[in-house]
Structures are given as structure tokens and as C-alpha cells.
């Protein structure tokens, strides 16, 4: 019912606008089109400056409302992100100045040079000097921005420090799988044809297969596999080795100011250094629910919007305590290979002998 | 100059001869039926109108889609049972737009607006309408190919439309259609039949673009009237010419990308596929590269944004100069910057791929080339500003939209400098910052260029005027609305809010924008409704608008205004006019304007 009412109101509104417009046209013809044109010209010229002033105030007001909801009032949560922020401010200063200058000139000229009987147009088809000026000046500013950008770019994409911890991140529709190399500090081999939904989500090579011409890789036996939450250590660089099982995803880390695609068949990498633990961030933001979220930033299907992962940044001690509790996936799947279980079974065996 | 005249003289005479003959045929023997005049027309002016009106139909559909998905973003908890009655259960379930419907809407919205509205609707309309009229030709080089170009577009439209009605829904993987998502029906229902239809529609569309583009190039190069040297052409023609060149060189690459995708989808090849385990099943494909498609796609995709933008730039240059009653500032620099943009457009595609794992060194080259494009863009902006400086400005509706275009082009272009710098893009890529950027600079700005063109050349198209009051209302609400919609999105992007999300409420990092999303959605609806005002004005005025009685209502120098108010097929009833000067003699020697057809006087000043 309200639906029809809304439609009726809209139609009515349109009819009114239409009638007014029609009437305005008749009046224009009666009054003399030339004179009418001059009047509307003045109105539009005035609206031009009015729009500019209101627009600039609007830009300021929008900033008042939303600046605090962006990431900028908070310090970047990664060392690398500091460079991003610094670059962002410099770029904003340059483009912001150009924005204000050119918009004022545009609408200002529109107002100032509105049609007047008395005005004589200045025939000014070109000026090499001016044209060189606004080729060279932007080129200089852009060079500065490029140099600054590329220095950061090579830092971000360069090699991770040797002491960085390594975590493998794998995207799937619609979630994240993480793998730590375990005690040997080495990722075991994997092969996608070994993936099975329940036990071996990454296709780790746990046994020989003559058909696939692969041999059991002992390095994979102590690899730790977790889903949805990954633990990282404060102030310790971490290198993500990123891949995907199905379609392209993207590891988006907004608080750390970084992201990298997860492409099936082509591993990518990204490294960074977290600066604050999750607990510290809860205090800094004043938000008790704060978490570092991994958002998938590449369209990956109907569940894309819900492909969420969590990063827990903790201190080294907390991390060690957490890690001590993790059990390699291999042992979870093959409990009989677990030395802990073995000790038990030999114990019971000896009891039996007695 | 005299060399050129000698070079051109023989061809022009031949053309004249031929044209006189054709003209004869059309005006006296041939009786046009409804079918040949309005449907399978070979008259460039009618084909232009066909492109325009088909484009407008798509603009309404595409706009309506954005209203629907904005409804979801603005009111994620609300229920719309009446929508369910209207659209059915596939789209709306339990009164809520489904995630699949949301993604289908976003994808179709993007595809349709980029290709069908702002490529076909914009270049198709104005290249067809203006090239022959402004260079002084009776029609296109091949009117028949021109007709085919429209009908291939029409066929593409039908196939795309049909994809909305298939059981598994239209394609829903984003207008960029990245595989493996777009290649595997198992990965998403939208990648089943909907994607087949999408690919067929796009292939037909590429054929249409190529037929049109080759024709525009041939016409501009060969069919100019006597005296119309390349450097006397209006900037609209230069812009449309470069647009056509971009399209002809880049659409085939997209086409090849689509062919490989069709093979991967249907014939078991692995161009883009490798190491996949989808929906519980291991696939046999090995050795392909998902990134290859992105290279092929963006090799068109980036030039495409200039294919959309250049015609708008050309028309805006023309309209600004005409209504400032002042020559365009730096005509040669304007051509030079169009040329530079056209070249660079081919050398920057990988700036869409900075975070795909692209080799960082390669990435750095693309940063350099991308930021280089800002230089010719800056030249254009400052030249437009100088064109206004000390002019005598008439705010016709076309002029208002042209000024709006410049404002939007500045606002959106500047954020390109952010995104083109890979070290910033690594933070902002695929967030709402990107949505804000490309909508302002490409979407809305080009829409403004298109509106400027329609308002300016409507009297030539239909021999009637649009209603001014409606036009002014349309302009001011649209300009204000466009900024209200897209400006705050920069802030969402700076919070890292990802694009293509159906619902943000589960995200601790992004849910603070619920209220803003509601605001944006509301403004979007108002702006959409305002476009209906324009639509009404357009169709009403075709039949009931004030009649044009002045052959040259804007006091323009260019050739189209020397043709009769309602030109027939062949454009000029007698001889084609001869051109003696460039297109921008406004305010010269104290005269308001000097038409291109007027010979240079003995004591006229030189510039
Ligand atoms: C009423 C005006 C418009 C509104 C409110 C609007 C809104 C939006 C929004 C919010 C998105 C992002 C959706 C998401 O990622 O979840 C989007 C996507 C898009 N829009 Fe628009 N839009 C409008 C007009 C246009 C125009 C004129 C163009 C023409 C260039 C355009 C081209 C696109 C493209 C290419 C995408 C990306 C589609 C994709 O992600 O595959 N839009 N639009
Ligand atoms: Cu995703
Ligand atoms: Cu691009």
C-alpha cells in the first residue's frame, strides 16, 4: 500500500516539474527568448559559484564526519604501512592543492566570465610558454611521487629479512587455511591431486604414490595446519607464502596496509612486521571487539563477502605457548604414528607382558 | 599547406563526383520505406539515433540494477516482499535480494554501462552522427558496414538481455570476468549458462565495435571535404578518430582472450587453469596461467577507459569553445595530448595487476608509464580552463554538462595518481577508493560528456529543442548527486572496505559505514529518478519540442550547422561546402564567430 502511495507521490512530483517547465518555456517565448536567456544565464552563473562554495564546505564536512572512521587516525599496524601512510599524506597534499586550485579556477572563471553585453572576448588561441609551463610543472611533481613510490615498492616487494617467520596462506571458497612449517622449519611438499576435503585440505605428501610418481615427504609430517585464525608475533617479520585451491582470492590486510592475490597454481609472497598485539590494538582503538581481519579482496564467488580470516598478533611467549599446544596435522590423521600414542601403546604392551 | 591541397585535390574531386551521383540517387529515384528509413537504415544520422536510443535503454536497465544492489547495501536488514512479487524467487528470497542476485546485478551493471552505454551509446552515437557532418561527407565510407555495426550491437544486446532469464542466472563474477571463477561452472552458478551467453554477447559486441571503428577511421582519413585538412578538423573528430584507433587495436586482443576462455570452458583446454580443487572435485587441468587472462583483458580494459573518455573530451572541447565564444586554447597541444594519451593507453594495462604477484620490476615500469599519463591529462585540464578565461560564457545545458565534465575529470583524475603508484595501490586496490575513482573519472564524467553532446546536438538530430528548465534541473541534481554518491566512498576505501561485498555487517573493520551506505543509496535513487526527467524530456521533445528555426542556433563555426535544419540522407542538398579555416575562429577581429566555410579575408589578422 505504502508502495503505491510512494509511486503516486513521485508521479505527482514529476507532473508538477513538467508543468512548471512547460510554463517556463511559454513565458520565455512571450517575454522574448533573448532576454530570458540572459536571465537564466545569470542564474546559472550564480549557481556555479554557489556550487563551488557549497562543494568545498561539503568536502570539509565530509572529512569531519568520516575521517575518524578510516584507518588514518590510527597509526599503521605494520612497519611497512608507515611508509604507505607517509606516501598517502604527501600524495594528498599535492593532489589536494591541485584539486582546490583547479576547481576554484573552473567555477570561478565560469562565474566571472559569464556573458555580458559589454565584454569583448580575448582571442587567445595558444601560448607556447604557458603550455610548456603546465607540461613541466606536473612532470616534476610526478617524478617526485614516482621516486618516492618506487623506493617503497621495492622495499615492500623485496626479500623478507632472514629471521622472518614463514606462514603459508591458502585461499579456498570461502575461507583461509594456514600452515606453519613445524619443528624442522621446512614446509613439506604438497600436490593438489592429494587434496581431500576432510583430512588433507592442502594435499600434503604423506605417503608414497606410484600412480602419481611421488614419494612420502618427511618434512610434511610436522607441518601445523589451522583454519580461519593465524597467530603472528609482535615485532617479528612474517612472510606469507600465498596460494589458492580453486579461484583467485586476495589476502587483504587493511590495518597493515597491504594485500596480495592468492592465485591457483602460482604462489605469491608478501612480508611485513606487525607492530602491535591484538590486545594493544583493542586498547588503542578503544574497541573491545577489535580484531585484525583478513578480508578477501578479489571476487571469488557468491560467498566472497563472507570470506573472513583472523590474525591474532601476540607476544613471543604467548606464541610459544600456543604453538606448544598445536599438533601436526599428520599425527592427527594418523594417530598410530604419533610418538605420544606409541609410548602409550608400548606401555600397555609391557603391562600385558607382565 | 599548399602541398596538402595538391595531395588532396584529386581525391576530393573524385569523391565529389561519386557523391553527386549517390545524392542524385537518394533524392530522386529511391523511395524510402519505413524499413529502410528507420530499421535497416544506412543513413549515418539514423544509425546514430539507433545507437543512442539503444544505449539509453541500457542506461536505464543498468541504472535500475544499481538502484537494486544499492538497496541491498543501504538496507541490508530490510525486507522487500513487493520486490519478490516483481522479480521472482531467484532474485529475491524471503524479501531479501540474494547474494547471487546481488553479484549478477553488479556484474551486469558494470558490463552494460561500460560497453553498451559508454562505448556503443557514446562513440556509436557521436562518431556516426558527427564524423560525416563535421568533416563534410555525405555518409560513412561504408554505410552498409555501418548498418551491420549497429545490428551486431543489437544482437549482442539481445543475447545479454536473454542471460537475465536463464535458470542459473546471469554471469556473476564481475565485469572483468577473471578465470578460474568465470571458467568453471562448479565455482559459481553464474558461471554456467549465464557466462556462455555473456561471452557470446561480448563477442558480438567486439564485432560491432570493429565494424564501426574501421569505418570511422576510413571516413576520417578519406572523405574529408575540400579544404578540410587534418589540422582543421574540430577536436571532436580528432577524439573520435583516436577512439576508433584504440578500439581497432585493442578489441581483437580481448577477443582472443575470450576465445581461449571459451576453449577452457567447453573443450577441456588449460590456458588459464592449473592445480584446481573445486567444490570437492580435483580437476585434471595443469600448466595454465590464470594471470594470462588478466593481461589479455586489461590490454583492452585500460584502453577501453579511454575509448569511453576520449569522445567525451572531444565534445567537451568543442562545446566549451563554442559557448565561451572563444577559440579552444592550444589546439595543437590538445591533439598532441590526445595522441599521447592514445599511445600511453596501450602501455599501462598492468597497473590493474600490481598485486597479482606481477614481477615487481615490471610493476615499477608500469608505475612510471601510468603516472606519465597524468601529464597530457593535466595539459588538457589547464587548456580547458584557459579556454574559459576571458571568454563570454553562455550557459546552455550542453555547456553546463561540459563544465561538469571538467570538474569531475579533475576530481577523478587526481585519485588516479594515488592508485597508479603501486606502493599506495597495494593498500587501496579493490576497495571503495577504486569504485570512487573510476566512477567519477570514467563513469559519471563520460556520462556528462554524453549529456553535453546530446543537449548540444539535439537540435541537429531532431530539428527541435529540449526543454531548458528540465535540462537545468537535470544538470544540477545530477552534478550534486554524483558528488554526494561518490565522494564519501573515498573514505570507505581509506578504511580498507573491499568492493563487491554483499553485506558488511559481519566485519568488525567495515561495519561502521552502515549509515553512510544508507545515505549513498538514497541519493542514488534520487539521481536515478532525475535521469527519468531527462528521458522524458528527450522523447517528449522529439514530437513536441520547440521547433528549431535558426540553422545555426549556437553560433558555431563547424560544418554540421551549414546543413539544412533537418538534413536528408546525403546531408547537404547541393554541393558539399568547402572549408577555408580551422574550427575555432570565435571572437576573432571583433567578430563573434567566423564559420569554417568563410574564405580567409585579405586583411584578417594571423595568429
Ligand atoms: C546511478 C549511478 C551509479 C551508481 C549508484 C553506481 C554504483 C556502483 C557501485 C556501488 C558499485 C560497486 C558494487 C560492488 O563492488 O559491490 C558499482 C560497480 C560498477 N559500476 Fe557503477 N554506479 C553507477 C553508475 C555507473 C556508470 C555510469 C558506470 C559506467 C562506467 C558504472 C560502472 C561500473 C563498473 C564498471 C562497476 C564494477 C562492476 C564490477 O565490479 O564488476 N557505474 N557501481
Ligand atoms: Cu573473495
Ligand atoms: Cu587502467
Domain contains A88? no
| Contact B512/A at CB under 8 A | yes
Q: What is the average pLDDT across B183-193?
A: 94
Q: Burial-class residue B607 by CB neighbours within 10 Å (0-12, 13-18, 19+).
A: exposed
Q: Burial-class residue B94 by CB neighbours within 10 Å (0-12, 13-18, 19+).
A: exposed
User: pTM for this structure?
Assistant: 0.91
Do residues A53 and A180 share a domain?
no
| Contact B430/A at CB under 8 A | yes
Are B412 and B437 within 8 A, CB to CB?
Answer: yes
| Contact A173/B at CB under 8 A | yes
- Probe ligand 1: pick from B97, B103, B109, max atoms within 8 Å of CB? B109
Domain contains A66? yes
CB contact under 8 A, A115 and B393: yes
Smallest Cβ–Cβ distance between A192 and the set B277, B476, B536 belongs to B277
- Probe ligand 1: pick from B64, B67, B110, max atoms within 8 Å of CB? B110
Reduced to 3 states (helix: H, G, I; strand: E, B; else coil), residue A266 is strand
Mean pLDDT of chain B: 91
pLDDT at B329: 95
Q: Burial-class residue B287 by CB neighbours within 10 Å (0-12, 13-18, 19+).
A: exposed
Domain contains A288? yes
Do residues A196 and A324 share a domain?
yes
ipTM score for this prediction: 0.93
Are B348 and B366 within 8 A, CB to CB?
Answer: yes
Q: How far apart are CA A249 and CA A301, in angstroms?
A: 10
Nearest CA to ligand 1 atom 13: B500
pLDDT grade, residue B118 (50/70/90)?
Answer: very high
The CA A108 to ligand 2 mean position distance, Å, reads 45
Contacts of A31 (CB under 8 A, 6+ apart): none
- Give per-residue burial for B294-328: e unless 16+ CB within 10 Å, then b: bbbbbbbbbbbbbbbbbbbbbbbbbbbbbbbbbbb
pLDDT grade, residue A120 (50/70/90)?
Answer: confident
Do residues A294 and A184 share a domain?
yes
pLDDT grade, residue B3 (50/70/90)?
Answer: very low
How many CB atoms lie under 10 A from the CB of residue A263?
A: 27
For residue B66, is pLDDT > 70? yes
Are A188 and A202 within 8 A, CB to CB?
Answer: no
- pLDDT tens for B237-266 read 999 999 999 999 999 999 999 999 999 999
Do residues A74 and A196 share a domain?
no
Do residues A108 and A210 share a domain?
no
Do residues A57 and A191 share a domain?
no
Grid coordinates standing for B374? Answer: 597524468
Q: Please tell me the total number of residues recorded for chain B in this structure.
A: 607
Reduced to 3 states (helix: H, G, I; strand: E, B; else coil), residue B59 is helix
For residue B27, is pLDDT > 50? no
Q: What is the average pLDDT across B267-292?
A: 93
Grid coordinates standing for B125? Answer: 552515437
For residue B504, is pLDDT > 50? yes
Pocket of ligand 1 (CB under 6 A): B 63, 66, 70, 106-107, 109-110, 113-114, 118, 174-175, 435, 439, 442-443, 447, 485, 499-501, 524, 527-528
pLDDT grade, residue B120 (50/70/90)?
Answer: very high
Q: Which residue spans within B158-261 are E strands per DSSP? A: none
How many CB atoms lie under 10 A from the CB of residue B277?
A: 22
| Contact B333/A at CB under 8 A | yes
Q: What is the average pLDDT across B566-594?
A: 91
Do residues A270 and A320 share a domain?
yes
Nearest CA to ligand 1 atom 4: B66
Do residues A12 and A62 share a domain?
no
pLDDT at B25: 38
pLDDT at B517: 95
Looking at chain B, the whole-number percentage of residues with pLDDT higher than 70 is 95
pLDDT at B214: 96
- Could you tell me which of A271, A262, A255, A277 has the C-alpha nearest to residue A177? A262
Reduced to 3 states (helix: H, G, I; strand: E, B; else coil), residue A180 is strand
The count of structural domains within chain A is: 3
CA angle B406, B409, B411 (to 5 degrees): 110
CATH numbers and ranges of domains, chain B: 42-593 (1.20.210.10)
pLDDT grade, residue B94 (50/70/90)?
Answer: confident
Q: What is the average pLDDT across A318-344?
A: 85
Q: What is the average pLDDT across B203-217?
A: 96
Task: Give the residue on A whose Cα is nearest the Cα of B381.
Answer: A102
| Contact A209/B at CB under 8 A | no
Q: How far apart are CA B23 and CA B33, in angstroms?
A: 17
Q: How far apart are CA B31 and CA B460, in angstroms?
A: 23
CB contact under 8 A, B417 and A261: no
Do residues A214 and A255 share a domain?
yes
Q: What is the average pLDDT across A193-209?
A: 88
- pLDDT tens for B402-455 read 999 999 999 999 999 999 999 999 999 999 999 999 999 999 999 999 999 999
Looking at beta carbons, which residues of chain A come within 8 Å of B381? 102
Domain contains A24? yes
For residue B206, is pLDDT > 80? yes
For residue B9, is pLDDT > 50? no
Mutate to test the interface with A, among B79, B272, B275 (most CBs of A within 10 A): B275
pLDDT at A349: 45
- pLDDT tens for B587-606 read 988 889 999 999 988 878 77
Q: How far apart are CA B535 and CA B347, in angstroms?
A: 38
For residue A79, is pLDDT > 60? yes
Nearest CA to ligand 1 atom 15: B500
Q: Tell me the sheet residues that pair with A258.
A: A253
Sign of the dihedral defined by the CA atoms of residues A44, A49, A55, A57, in that order = negative
For residue B195, is pLDDT > 80? yes
Reduced to 3 states (helix: H, G, I; strand: E, B; else coil), residue A15 is helix
Q: Burial-class residue A2 by CB neighbours within 10 Å (0-12, 13-18, 19+).
A: exposed
CB contact under 8 A, B407 and A107: yes
Domain contains A253? yes
The CA B588 to ligand 2 mean position distance, Å, reads 59
CB contact under 8 A, A88 and B331: no
pLDDT at A176: 96
Contacts of A2 (CB under 8 A, 6+ apart): none
Q: How far apart are CA B189 and CA B173, in angstroms?
A: 10
Do residues A324 and A197 share a domain?
yes
Do residues A104 and A180 share a domain?
no
pLDDT at B37: 78
Are B260 and B182 within 8 A, CB to CB?
Answer: no
Q: What is the average pLDDT across B100-123?
A: 96
First-to-last C-alpha distance (Å) of chain B: 16
| Rounded alpha-carbon distances, angstroms, from residue B270 to B180, B262, B264, B286, B292 | 10, 11, 6, 6, 11
- pLDDT tens for A25-76 read 888 888 788 888 888 999 999 999 999 999 999 999 999 999 999 999 989 9
Do residues A186 and A108 share a domain?
no
pLDDT at B245: 96
- pLDDT tens for B312-358 read 999 999 999 999 999 999 999 999 999 999 999 999 999 999 999 99
Domain contains A87? no
Domain contains A159? no
For residue A332, is pLDDT > 90? no
- pLDDT tens for B162-182 read 999 999 999 999 999 999 999
Domain contains A122? no
Phi, psi of A196 (to 5 degrees): -130, 145
Can you state the angle between helices B99-111 and B44-74, rounded to 10 degrees? 150
For residue B143, is pLDDT > 60? yes
For residue B125, is pLDDT > 60? yes
| Contact A11/B at CB under 8 A | no
Nearest CA to ligand 1 atom 10: B70
Mean pLDDT of chain A: 90
CATH number of the structural domain spanning residue A219: 2.60.40.420
Q: Identify the domain containing residue A268 by its residue range.
A: 165-341
Ligand nearest to the CA of B502: 1
Looking at beta carbons, which residues of chain B come within 8 Å of A95? 414-415, 417-418
Among the ranges given (A128-137, A194-203, A286-295, B151-160), the one the predictor scored with the smallest mean pLDDT: A194-203
Phi, psi of B419 (to 5 degrees): -75, -25
pLDDT at B31: 66
Amino acid at each position: 500500500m505504502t508502495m503505491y502511495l510512494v509511486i503516486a507521490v513521485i508521479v505527482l512530483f514529476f507532473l508538477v516539474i513538467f508543468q512548471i517547465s512547460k510554463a517556463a518555456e511559454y513565458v520565455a517565448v512571450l517575454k522574448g527568448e533573448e532576454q530570458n536567456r540572459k536571465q537564466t544565464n545569470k542564474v546559472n552563473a550564480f549557481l556555479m559559484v554557489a556550487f563551488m562554495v557549497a562543494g568545498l564546505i561539503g568536502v570539509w564536512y565530509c572529512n569531519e564526519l568520516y575521517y575518524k572512521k578510516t584507518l588514518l587516525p590510527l597509526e599503521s599496524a605494520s612497519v611497512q604501512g608507515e611508509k604507505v601512510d607517509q606516501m598517502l599524506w604527501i600524495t594528498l597534499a599535492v593532489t589536494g592543492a591541485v584539486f582546490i586550485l583547479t576547481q576554484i579556477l573552473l567555477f570561478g572563471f565560469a562565474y566571472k566570465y559569464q556573458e555580458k553585453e559589454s565584454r569583448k572576448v580575448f582571442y587567445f588561441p595558444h601560448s607556447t610558454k604557458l603550455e610548456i609551463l603546465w607540461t613541466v610543472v606536473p612532470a616534476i611533481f610526478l617524478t617526485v611521487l614516482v621516486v618516492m613510490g618506487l623506493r617503497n615498492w621495492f622495499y615492500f616487494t623485496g626479500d623478507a629479512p632472514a629471521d622472518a617467520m614463514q606462514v603459508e596462506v591458502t585461499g579456498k571458497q570461502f575461507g583461509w587455511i594456514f600452515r606453519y612449517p613445524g619443528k624442522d622449519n621446512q614446509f613439506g611438499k604438497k600436490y593438489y591431486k592429494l587434496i581431500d576435503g576432510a583430512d588433507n585440505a592442502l594435499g600434503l605428501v604423506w605417503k608414497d604414490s606410484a600412480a602419481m610418481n611421488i614419494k612420502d615427504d618427511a618434512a610434511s609430517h610436522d607441518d601445523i595446519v589451522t583454519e580461519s585464525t593465524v597467530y603472528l608475533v609482535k615485532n617479528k617479520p612474517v612472510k606469507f607464502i600465498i596460494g589458492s585451491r580453486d579461484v583467485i582470492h586476495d589476502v587483504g590486510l587493511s590495518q597493515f596496509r597491504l594485500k596480495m592475490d592468492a592465485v591457483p597454481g602460482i604462489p605469491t609472497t608478501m612480508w611485513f612486521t606487525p607492530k602491535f598485539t591484538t590486545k594493544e590494538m583493542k586498547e588503542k582503538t578503544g574497541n573491545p571487539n577489535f580484531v585484525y581481519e583478513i578480508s578477501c579482496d578479489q571476487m571469488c564467488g557468491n560467498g566472497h563477502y563472507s570470506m573472513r580470516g583472523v590474525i591474532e598478533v601476540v607476544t613471543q611467549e604467548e606464541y610459544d605457548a600456543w604453538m606448544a599446544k598445536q599438533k601436526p596435522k599428520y599425527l592427527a590423521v594418523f594417530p598410530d604414528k604419533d610418538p605420544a600414542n606409541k609410548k602409550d601403546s608400548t606401555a600397555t604392551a609391557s603391562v600385558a607382558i607382565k | 599547406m599548399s602541398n596538402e591541397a595538391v595531395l588532396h585535390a584529386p581525391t576530393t574531386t573524385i569523391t565529389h563526383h561519386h557523391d553527386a551521383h549517390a545524392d542524385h540517387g537518394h533524392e530522386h529515384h529511391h523511395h524510402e520505406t519505413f524499413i529502410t528509413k528507420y530499421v535497416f537504415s544506412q543513413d549515418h544520422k539514423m544509425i546514430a539515433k539507433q545507437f543512442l536510443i539503444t544505449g539509453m535503454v541500457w542506461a536505464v536497465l543498468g541504472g535500475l540494477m544499481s538502484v537494486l544492489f544499492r538497496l541491498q547495501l543501504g538496507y541490508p536488514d530490510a525486507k522487500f516482499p513487493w520486490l519478490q512479487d516483481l522479480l521472482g524467487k531467484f532474485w529475491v528470497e524471503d524479501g531479501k535480494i540474494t547474494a547471487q542476485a546481488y553479484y549478477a546485478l553488479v556484474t551486469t551493471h558494470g558490463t552494460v554501462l561500460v560497453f553498451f552505454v559508454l562505448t556503443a551509446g557514446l562513440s556509436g552515437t557521436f562518431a556516426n552522427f558527427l564524423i560525416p557532418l563535421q568533416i563534410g561527407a555525405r555518409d560513412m565510407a561504408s554505410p552498409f558496414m555501418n548498418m551491420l555495426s549497429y545490428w551486431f550491437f543489437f544482437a549482442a544486446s539481445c543475447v545479454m538481455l536473454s542471460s537475465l532469464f536463464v535458470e542459473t542466472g546471469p554471469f556473476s563474477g564481475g565485469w572483468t570476468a577473471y578465470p578460474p571463477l568465470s571458467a568453471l561452472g562448479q565455482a559459481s552458478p553464474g558461471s554456467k549458462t549465464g557466462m556462455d551467453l555473456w561471452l557470446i554477447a561480448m563477442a558480438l559486441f567486439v564485432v560491432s565495435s570493429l565494424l564501426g571503428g574501421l569505418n570511422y577511421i576510413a571516413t576520417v582519413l578519406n572523405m574529408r571535404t575540400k579544404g578540410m585538412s587534418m589540422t582543421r578538423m574540430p577536436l571532436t573528430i580528432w577524439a573520435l578518430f583516436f577512439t576508433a584507433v584504440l578500439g581497432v587495436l585493442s578489441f581483437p586482443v580481448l577477443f582472443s582472450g575470450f576465445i581461449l576462455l571459451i576453449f577452457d570452458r567447453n573443450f577441456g583446454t588449460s590456458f588459464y587453469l592449473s592445480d584446481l580443487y573445486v567444490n570437492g572435485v580435483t580437476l585434471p587441468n595443469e600448466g595454465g596461467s590464470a594471470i594470462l587472462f588478466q593481461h589479455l583483458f586489461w590490454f583492452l580494459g585500460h584502453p577501453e577507459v579511454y575509448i569511453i573518455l576520449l569522445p567525451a573530451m572531444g565534445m567537451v572541447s568543442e562545446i566549451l569553445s563554442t559557448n565561451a565564444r572563444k577559440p579552444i586554447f592550444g589546439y595543437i597541444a590538445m591533439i598532441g595530448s590526445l595522441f599521447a594519451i592514445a599511445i600511453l593507453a596501450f602501455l599501462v594495462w598492468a597497473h590493474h595487476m600490481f598485486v597479482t604477484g606481477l614481477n615487481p620490476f615490471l610493476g615499477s615500469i608500469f608505475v612510471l608509464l601510468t603516472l606519465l599519463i597524468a601529464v597530457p591529462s593535466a595539459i588538457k585540464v589547464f587548456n580547458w580552463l584557459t579556454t574559459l578565461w576571458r571568454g563570454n560564457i553562455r550557459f546552455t545545458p550542453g555547456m553546463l554538462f561540459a563544465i561538469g565534465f571538467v570538474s569531475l575529470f579533475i576530481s577523478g583524475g587526481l585519485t588516479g595518481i594515488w592508485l597508479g603508484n603501486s606502493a599506495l595501490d597495494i593498500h587501496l586496490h579493490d576497495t571503495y577508493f577504486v569504485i570512487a575513482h573510476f566512477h567519477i573519472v570514467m563513469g559519471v564524467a563520460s556520462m556528462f560528456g554524453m549529456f553535453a553532446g546530446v543537449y548540444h546536438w539535439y537540435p541537429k538530430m531532431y530539428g527541435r529543442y529540449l526543454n531548458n528548465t528540465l535540462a537545468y534541473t537535470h544538470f544540477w541534481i545530477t552534478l550534486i548527486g554524483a558528488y554526494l554518491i561518490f565522494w564519501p566512498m573515498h573514505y570507505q576505501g581509506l578504511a580498507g572496505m573491499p568492493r563487491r561485498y554483499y553485506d558488511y555487517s559481519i566485519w568488525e573493520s567495515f561495519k561502521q559505514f552502515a549509515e553512510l551506505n544508507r545515505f549513498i543509496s538514497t541519493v542514488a535513487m534520487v539521481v536515478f529518478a532525475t535521469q527519468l526527467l531527462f528521458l522524458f524530456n528527450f522523447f517528449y521533445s522529439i514530437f513536441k519540442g520547440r521547433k528549431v528555426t535558426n540553422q545555426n542556433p549556437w553560433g558555431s563555426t563547424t560544418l554540421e550547422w551549414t546543413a539544412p535544419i533537418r538534413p536528408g540522407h546525403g546531408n547537404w542538398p547541393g554541393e558539399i561546402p568547402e572549408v577555408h579555416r580551422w574550427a575555432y575562429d570565435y571572437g576573432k577581429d571583433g567578430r563573434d564567430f567566423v564559420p569554417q566555410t568563410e574564405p580567409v579575408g585579405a586583411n584578417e589578422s594571423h595568429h
